[in-house]
């Protein structure tokens, strides 16, 4: 544990240090959005205060600085994910837009009547609805791999659902509602053996583990900046260059073209082809700063710390009568989703907030998995690198107090 000093790291996150309802804030909603280190906030402030120009256009000094920072962030992220080329990093608004980009640009060109898209029961709505839309437009069919009672993927059933018509497998790296880590490397091997591509929804994956897209063999990997301690409104689609090069654009506009005439427009190569219009420049630069911040930490030590807090908190909650943890897959990360007998999650969320403890309640934008686990909503405590065992103590205390009120 010595290689990661959580108390020191907490000082890097200004928002954590405040009172909520008169109590020290305990933030347990990082799966919804993580807090930002000073480096991110300062980098973005400095960009607006010092540089602020459009990218890839002007020849003036400010534009050059903005372009260098924006493209520098792309390279920071490329290195962070170990992508082979910076051209494989496309900036998007977030994971949702990254998935929509693939479903539209790749899907329209490659999906035909009867082709199959394989999802799992634990997908977030953002990895379901874009595929439903493209399936409706192309006549492709959606298949869904089931999960076990503990929230882990039924790999046998998954494998059986792969077939000659499977064109795309879209799967969460980590379930946002349950914390289950999917064996994406194995999934990718199996899918590739069947000639299918794989998109990994990494929104909840990349905040909790080091991701090497080449080692994984992922064809596409989507992530959100704001869950990775960066700003909102920015995300990344990693795509293998050969795939991106073969994909048509999905949005037209400035910055994504090479030559425009009214007869014919030649598109720019990736990543510019997929970044029509003025991008979220400060957001990209902020995300670059976030991964540079993470690079200053020993990620294995951070991961060990997070797991320690997760296990400690899980054990505490299990001791409280009437608490049932939903999602108990081996190797899970970052999330404790739970039910309290006789107390609606929404009431619990309000009561915990009164104690300064911020959690998420509801269906977590993953209604199918809620249905599968036979619950309509849960209370979810989700962790960031800055959470501590003391946070878990506060959660457990607040929980006991709340239960007294509602029972």
By annotation, the residues acting in catalysis are 365
**Secondary structure letter of residue 224 according to DSSP:** E
Q: How crowded is residue 297: how many other Cβ atoms within 10 Å of its Cβ?
A: 17
CB 285 within 8 A of CB 69: yes
**Which is nearer to other proteins, 191 or 366 (by Cβ)?**
366
Nearer to other proteins, 185 or 407 (CB): 407
Question: Residue 174 and residue 1: Cα distance in Å, rounded?
Answer: 24
The CA dihedral of 194, 172, 77, 268, to the nearest 10 degrees, is 60
Which of 336, 326, 366, 362 minimizes the C-alpha distance to 347?
362
Q: What single-letter DSSP state applies at residue 127?
A: G
In the bound state with other proteins, the residue whose beta carbon lies nearer, of 11 and 376, is 376
Query: Using CA atoms, how far apart are residues 135 and 133, in angstroms rounded to an integer?
Result: 5
* Contact footprint for other proteins (CB under 8 A): 21-23, 342, 344-347, 350-351, 354-355, 361-363, 367, 370, 376-377, 401, 405-406
The residues that bridge with 222 in the sheet, in sequence order, are 201, 237
Q: Of 311 and 407, which CB lies nearer to other proteins in the complex structure?
A: 407
Q: How far is the CB of 154 from other proteins (least distance, A)?
A: 25
What minimum distance in Å lies between the beta carbon of 377 and other proteins?
5
Least Å from the CB of residue 119 to other proteins? 21
In three-state secondary structure terms, 321 is: coil
* Residue pair 336/310 in contact by the 8 Å Cβ criterion: yes
Number of Cβ atoms within 10 Å of the Cβ of 31 = 26
Tokens of 127: 């990895």
Nearer to other proteins, 297 or 375 (CB): 375
- Residues 320 and 318: their CA atoms lie apart, in Å, by 5
Q: Which two tokens stand for residue 214?
A: 């080449």
Task: Calculate Rg over the CA atoms of the chain.
Answer: 22
Least Cβ distance, residue 91 to other proteins (angstroms)? 30
Q: Which phi and psi angles does 375 have, rounded to 5°?
A: -130, 155
CB nearer to other proteins: pick between 102 and 122: 122
Q: Shortest Cβ distance from residue 405 to other proteins (Å)?
A: 6
Smallest separation, CB 406 to other proteins (Å): 7
């Amino acid at each position: 544990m010595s290689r990661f000093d959580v108390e020191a790291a907490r000082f890097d996150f200004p928002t954590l240090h405040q009172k909520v309802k008169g109590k020290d804030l305990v933030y347990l909603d990082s799966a919804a959005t993580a807090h930002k280190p000073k480096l991110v906030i300062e980098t973005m402030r400095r960009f607006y205060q010092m540089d602020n120009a459009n990218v890839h256009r002007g020849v003036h000094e400010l534009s050059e600085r903005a372009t260098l920072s924006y493209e520098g962030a792309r390279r920071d992220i490329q290195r962070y994910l170990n992508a082979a080329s910076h051209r494989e990093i496309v900036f998007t608004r977030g994971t949702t837009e990254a998935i929509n980009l693939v479903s539209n640009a790749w899907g329209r060109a490659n999906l035909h009547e009867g082709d199959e898209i394989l999802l799992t029961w634990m997908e977030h709505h953002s990895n379901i609805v874009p595929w439903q839309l493209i399936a409706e437009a192309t006549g492709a069919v959606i298949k869904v791999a089931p999960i076990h009672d503990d929230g882990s993927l039924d790999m046998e059933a998954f494998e059986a659902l792969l077939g000659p018509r499977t064109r795309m497998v879209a799967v969460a790296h980590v379930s946002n509602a349950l914390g289950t880590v999917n064996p994406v490397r194995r999934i990718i091997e199996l899918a590739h053996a069947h000639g299918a591509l794989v998109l990994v929804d990494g929104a909840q994956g990349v905040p909790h583990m080091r991701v090497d897209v080449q080692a994984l063999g992922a064809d596409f990997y989507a992530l959100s900046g704001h869950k990775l301690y960066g700003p909102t409104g920015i995300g990344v689609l990693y795509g293998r260059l050969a795939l991106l090069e073969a994909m048509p654009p999905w949005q037209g506009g400035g910055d994504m073209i090479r030559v425009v005439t009214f007869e014919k427009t030649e598109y720019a190569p990736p990543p510019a082809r997929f970044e029509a219009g003025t991008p979220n420049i400060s957001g990209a630069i902020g995300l670059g700063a976030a991964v540079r911040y993470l690079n200053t930490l020993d990620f294995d030590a951070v991961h060990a710390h997070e797991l320690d807090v997760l296990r400690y908190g899980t054990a505490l909650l299990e001791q409280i009568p009437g608490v049932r943890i939903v999602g108990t897959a081996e190797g899970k990360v970052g999330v404790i989703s739970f039910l309290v007998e006789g107390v609606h999650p929404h009431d619990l969320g309000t009561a915990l907030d009164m104690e300064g403890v911020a959690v998420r309640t509801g269906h977590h934008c993953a209604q199918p998995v809620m249905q599968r686990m036979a619950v309509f909503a849960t209370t979810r405590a989700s962790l960031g690198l800055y959470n501590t065992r003391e946070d878990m103590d506060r959660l457990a205390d607040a929980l006991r107090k709340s239960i007294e009120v509602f029972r």
